[in-house]
Amino acid sequence: MKQLTFVNRPLLCEDKLRENRGQYDRTRRLTRALRVISFLVLIILAPVSIFALGSREKGANQTARNTMTIVGKVQIYGSSPHTFVGIAAKDGTEYAVYPPEQAEKLRKLQGHLIEFTVILLGQPQSFEGLVLRGGTVTPLSWRIIQ
């Protein structure tokens, strides 16, 4: 039987240091990798957020440009029970009113000459197969003229 001696004791300490150094190196590599990944994510998300903010400002300006004044009368289009409210301008252009809650408020003003401040929503929409060529508008305010 061999007898164990503790001559190599300092060597055990060096092994322990090497093991700790290996853990330290792995931790450093992992930290560096996480920093690189975070930086790449930041580079990708920064332009996306800038474009998102830019489109909001453009939308606000777009709404301001599409605001206009119309002088005309409230008209009811379609046949019962499928009717919808529109505005017949003095120049002959007809506009559909959206949303339905605004249209119901205007329904009571049928026959009066009114000055409307509206937002032009864009392309003409079809209501029960009927299309008003002026487009669709959302009334912001109105004033009875006659």
pLDDT 10s digits, 58-78? 444 455 568 889 999 998 887
pLDDT for 72: 93
- Rounded Cα distance between 50 and 57, Å, is 11
Cα 92 → chain centroid: 35
Judged against a pLDDT cut of 50, whether residue 57 lies above it is answered with no
Mean pLDDT of 18-36: 78
**Is residue 130 classed as helix, strand or coil in its secondary structure?**
strand
Residue 125 exposed, middle or buried by CB count within 10 Å (0-12, 13-18, 19+): middle
Mean pLDDT of 39-62: 65
